[in-house]
């Protein structure tokens, strides 16, 4: 009986993983260093609903870290993608997001850490016939390039712009 229960538990774990699929929503680069981040969605294979978000860090083509992001925070406080010291640099937020259908996602960025000025970029996170994608207007984007805001004598103070390709 004990072997049967262990076998059943093992099959349940395998079945759970079989019905999940990962999709890279965006590759994120910047003009300050060679770090690359991938924003990944884990979806339920049968319902195509979003289950989780991950942030995968890469350096020199090698994955160095995977961070599980607090998915439910997207509609609450926001999901922090980047924090430097006491400054939250990039956060994803939404007021109308549905994990089965998608919605508008605001990329909230720190433009200037000295003054506290922030800027926002809107994208849609939605499904198309091939899976989940980020859309800038009607155009699907898979690359986000962060242009850093630099000030003389101070250095990098925030995010100047996000280019979407």
Segments of the chain with pLDDT less than 50: 1-17
Return the closest-CA partner of residue 160 out of 108, 105, 119, 123. Answer: 119
Q: Is residue 73 part of a domain?
A: yes
83 in a structural domain:
yes
* Domain presence at residue 86: yes
Written as six digits, the tokens of 51 are 């289950």
CA distance 66 to 79: 15
Per the domain annotation, does 9 fall within a domain? no
Ramachandran assignment for 95, one of left (phi > 0), alpha (psi -120 to 50 degrees), beta (any other): alpha
pLDDT of residue 18: 55
What is the tens place of the pLDDT at every residue in 113-140?
A: 999 999 999 999 999 888 999 999 999 9
4 assigned to some structural domain: no
In this prediction, residue 20 carries a pLDDT of: 83
- Number of separate domains in the chain: 1
Domain housing 99: 19-164
pLDDT recorded at residue 34: 87
Answer whether residue 14 is part of any domain.
no
pTM for the whole thing? Answer: 0.85
Give the model's pLDDT for residue 122. 97
């Amino acid at each position: 009986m004990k072997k049967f229960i262990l076998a059943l538990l093992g099959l349940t774990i395998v079945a759970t993983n079989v019905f999940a699929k990962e999709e890279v929503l965006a590759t994120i680069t910047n003009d300050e260093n060679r770090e690359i981040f991938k924003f990944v969605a884990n979806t339920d294979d049968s319902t195509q609903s979003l289950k989780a978000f991950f942030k995968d860090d890469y350096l020199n083509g090698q994955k160095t870290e995977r961070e599980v992001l607090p998915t439910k925070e997207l509609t609450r406080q926001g999901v922090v993608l980047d924090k430097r010291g006491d400054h939250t640099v990039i956060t994803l937020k939404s007021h109308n997001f549905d994990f089965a259908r998608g919605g508008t996602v605001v990329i909230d960025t720190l433009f200037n850490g000295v003054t506290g000025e922030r800027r926002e970029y809107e994208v849609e996170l939605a499904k198309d016939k091939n899976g989940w994608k980020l859309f800038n207007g009607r155009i699907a984007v898979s690359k986000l390039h962060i242009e850093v805001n630099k000030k003389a004598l101070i250095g990098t103070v925030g995010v100047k712009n996000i280019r979407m390709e």
